[in-house]
Structure formats: structure tokens, C-alpha cells
């Protein structure tokens, strides 16, 4: 179904023609460089798609172009080449739009720059709505606070809130206008692990209840594995993998993706052959794909152990090869022990 440009009147680009058959957000041959001391290519020839009603996480090492891509999607940055399309229509850049940022999207950035820290929570959220219908304004603000479970903070000054509470206010403020897409840059940075988990579940529920599309940038693999429906993996501004987290975890297409998602062992052919693997390529072995058994006659030495509560992370070494493995705590592995290493699973990757 063709949705007319008038759907988002201030987001139409003159003479643009809607392209059909694209995912909700579609980037094609997208490139963006910056001129600092020298020219930095942040995004290079990137083609990708983001589906409606899903959580898509953009992951990659520091400087791989994640934040730049988020800004290009929103229309905060002008691409040097290529384009982003939303519902088939080209997303206008800052040169083409008086107030940059697509009208169907809202962005929550790392800091809380948008929040008025001296105003209370209610006013921070309500200020996003017009005064033309005061009853609707009240109802929507109330709904948004309830969704983010911060109704009890309504009268508190933002300045007096914790990082996690401020993050919830920022989200309530972004969602009160019912955007179709929520963009988040490192959303759980300022939130400790237990708060972050609850917030992730709440965002998931909002997505399921409302059909909201979420695009988030993250450097924390644990965060995205549990939360995202789809991953976009960037390396030096290029797409190196895309797909569902479980698939990319169990069948990583390259060593870079495997290393981002787990403390993976990446073995050369020669190293793999020491473990009895003849794959003809490098192989990825996630730590839980190794099983260890104490054996004084075996070749591997335990060189480090880390207690992690219900499991242990072990570092073992043999013939210059170092491996990371997981072990359940019912066997007490200690430094200096000799262990036999058995590979329960591996995945071949290109070098």
C-alpha cells in the first residue's frame, strides 16, 4: 500500500517518488565521512533494512560508525552518498528540513541533554504536547508515565532522580507523542545491570503492545542478545553481518562478529588441528562449546580461573594456544591443574 507523503507533511522531499517493497527503514549505499585532522570514513557503502515492529540493535567496536548510522537514519546528518528511506520515502537531511529529525521518529541520546533538569517529571513529558486539547495532553502524559512506570515520580525534579529514573523520563518524553520509531544511543549506559534488565523488558512490552519499531546502538553483547530481534554488525563503517541474534551467535559469519557477541576462541587451522578439528578454515569455539576434565596426563594447563557465581571462566593453555572455557562450579578447577579439553561444537569462519 502506498502511503502518501502527506502522512508526514514536513518530511517530504520535493520530487521524491515512493519506492515500494522496501522494509520500514531502508538504507542504500549509504556513506558518510568527517573531515577532522584527516578524513575519517564513518559509514561506507552501507545497505541495510530495518523491519517494522521489531527491535534492531546496531553493534560494533568503538568508532565503527554506530552513532553516525543512527543519526543518518533520523535525518540529523546529511549522507555524502546513498540514501535512507522510511516507508519508501527518502528521509530528508538537515539541509532539507527546518527542524532536523524525521517526524515519525524520536531519538533518545546517551546524555539527558533534552531533559529540563529543573522542571518536574510531569512537565518534562507534558511539554512535548500542544495545548490545543488539554484533556488529551493530560491523558497522554499520564499514559506515558504509567508505561514507563514512573507515575510516582511525577512531581519530582529531574535533577533529583537517579540515572535509571532519568532514562525512564527521557523515554516517556520520547514516546508521549506516539512516534512510530524510537532511536536509542547506548540506552543502558547510565543504568546498572539489574535496572537495565527491567527497563529492557519494559521496552520489549511496549514494542509488543504498540507495534513501535526500536533501533538501538549498543556495545554490550549481553544487552542486545536478550533484547534485539535483529542485529546489524558494523566494522569500520561497513556491514559485516546482519540477522537474528541466535543465528549470528551460533553461526557467526566472521571472527569479528563472534568476538563481539562472546569471549570466543578463534583458532587458526593449525591450532584447530591440535584439538582434532580439520575444518580447512579458521574456527570459532564459544567458551561453552568446550568441556574440561581434570587429567594429570593431559596437555592443557589451567592458567586463570574467574568465579562468576553459578559458573567459572577458565583460561587454559597448551603449546602456545590459549583458550577460554566455561565450567559449572561443581568441579573446582584451580590454577596449575592439568585438564583435557573436549570440543563439543565449533563453527568454521573465514579468516
- Can you give the binding site for ligand ATP, defined by CB under 6 A? 34, 36, 40, 42, 60, 62-68, 219
CA dihedral (56, 57, 58, 59) positive or negative: negative
CA 332 – CA 328 distance, rounded (Å): 9
How near is the Cβ of 187 to ligand ATP at its closest, in Å?
Answer: 13
CA atoms within 13 A on the CB side of 278: 0
Nearest Cα neighbor of 214 from 61, 11, 50 is 50
CA 255 – CA 350 distance, rounded (Å): 7
How near is the Cβ of 41 to ligand ATP at its closest, in Å?
Answer: 8
How near is the Cβ of 85 to ligand ATP at its closest, in Å?
Answer: 21
How near is the Cβ of 84 to ligand ATP at its closest, in Å?
Answer: 15
CA 104 – CA 119 distance, rounded (Å): 26
Q: Which is nearer to ligand ATP, 33 or 291 (CB)?
A: 33
Burial (0-12, 13-18, 19+ Cβ within 10 Å), 73? buried
Nearest Cα neighbor of 13 from 107, 103, 105, 80 is 103
How near is the Cβ of 93 to ligand ATP at its closest, in Å?
Answer: 15
Q: Which is nearer to ligand ATP, 67 or 291 (CB)?
A: 67
CA 97 – CA 207 distance, rounded (Å): 28
Q: Which is nearer to ligand ATP, 121 or 248 (CB)?
A: 248
Q: Which is nearer to ligand ATP, 232 or 323 (CB)?
A: 232
How near is the Cβ of 62 to ligand ATP at its closest, in Å?
Answer: 3
Q: Which is nearer to ligand ATP, 115 or 260 (CB)?
A: 260
CA 9 – CA 180 distance, rounded (Å): 15
Cα-to-chain-centroid distance, residue 34: 23
Cell numbers that stand for 118 in this block: 529543573
How near is the Cβ of 70 to ligand ATP at its closest, in Å?
Answer: 8
Q: Which is nearer to ligand ATP, 220 or 229 (CB)?
A: 220
Length of the chain, in residues = 351
Q: Which is nearer to ligand ATP, 186 or 282 (CB)?
A: 186
Q: Which is nearer to ligand ATP, 64 or 109 (CB)?
A: 64
Q: Which is nearer to ligand ATP, 76 or 145 (CB)?
A: 76
How near is the Cβ of 77 to ligand ATP at its closest, in Å?
Answer: 9
| Cβ atoms of residues 42 and 81 within 8 Å | no
3-state DSSP helix/strand/coil % of the chain, to nearest 5? 30, 30, 40
How near is the Cβ of 80 to ligand ATP at its closest, in Å?
Answer: 12
Kindly calculate the radius of gyration of the chain based on its CA atoms and give it in whole angstroms. 24
Cell numbers that stand for 111 in this block: 546524555
| Cβ atoms of residues 300 and 321 within 8 Å | no
Give backbone dihedrals phi and psi of 321, rounded to 5 degrees, phi first. -105, 130
Amino acid at each position: 500500500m502506498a502511503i502518501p507523503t502527506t502522512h508526514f507533511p514536513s518530511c517530504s522531499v520535493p520530487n521524491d517518488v515512493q519506492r515500494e517493497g522496501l522494509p520500514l527503514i531502508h538504507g542504500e549505499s549509504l556513506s558518510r565521512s568527517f573531515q577532522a585532522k584527516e578524513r575519517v570514513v564513518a559509514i561506507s557503502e552501507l545497505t541495510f533494512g530495518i523491519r517494522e515492529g521489531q527491535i534492531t540493535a546496531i553493534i560494533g567496536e568503538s568508532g565503527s560508525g554506530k552513532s553516525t548510522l543512527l543519526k543518518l537514519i533520523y535525518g540529523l546528518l546529511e549522507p555524502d552518498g546513498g540514501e535512507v528511506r522510511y516507508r519508501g520515502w527518502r528521509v530528508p537531511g538537515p539541509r532539507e528540513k527546518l527542524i532536523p529529525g524525521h517526524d515519525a521518529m524520536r531519538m533518545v541520546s546517551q546524555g539527558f541533554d533534552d531533559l529540563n533538569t529543573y522542571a518536574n517529571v510531569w512537565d518534562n513529558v507534558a511539554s512535548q504536547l500542544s495545548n490545543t486539547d488539554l484533556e488529551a495532553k493530560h491523558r497522554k502524559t499520564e499514559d506515558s508515565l504509567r508505561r514507563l512506570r514512573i507515575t510516582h515520580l511525577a512531581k519530582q525534579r529531574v535533577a533529583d532522580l537517579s540515572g535509571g529514573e532519568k532514562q525512564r523520563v527521557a523515554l516517556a518524553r520520547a514516546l508521549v507523542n506516539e512516534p512510530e520509531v524510537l532511536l536509542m544511543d547506548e540506552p543502558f549506559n547510565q543504568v546498572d545491570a539489574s535496572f537495565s534488565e527491567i527497563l529492557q523488558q519494559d521496552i520489549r512490552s511496549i514494542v509488543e503492545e504498540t507495534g513501535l519499531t526500536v533501533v538501538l546502538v549498543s556495545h554490550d553483547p549481553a544487552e542486545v542478545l536478550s533484547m534485539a530481534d535483529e542485529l546489524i554488525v558494523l566494522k569500520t563503517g561497513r556491514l559485516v553481518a546482519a540477522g537474528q541474534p541466535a543465528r549470528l551467535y551460533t553461526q557467526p559469519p566472521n571472527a569479528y562478529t563472534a568476538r563481539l557477541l562472546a569471549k570466543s576462541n578463534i583458532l587458526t587451522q593449525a591450532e584447530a588441528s591440535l584439538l582434532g578439528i580439520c575444518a580447512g578454515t579458521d574456527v570459532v569455539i564459544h567458551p561453552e562449546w568446550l568441556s574440561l576434565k581434570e587429567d594429570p596426563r593431559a596437555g592443557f594447563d589451567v592458567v586463570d580461573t574467574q568465579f562468576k557465581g553459578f559458573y567459572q571462566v577458565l583460561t587454559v593453555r597448551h603449546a602456545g594456544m590459549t583458550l577460554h572455557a566455561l565450567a559449572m562450579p561443581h568441579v573446582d578447577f584451580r590454577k596449575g591443574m592439568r585438564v583435557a579439553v573436549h570440543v563439543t561444537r565449533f563453527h568454521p569462519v573465514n579468516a
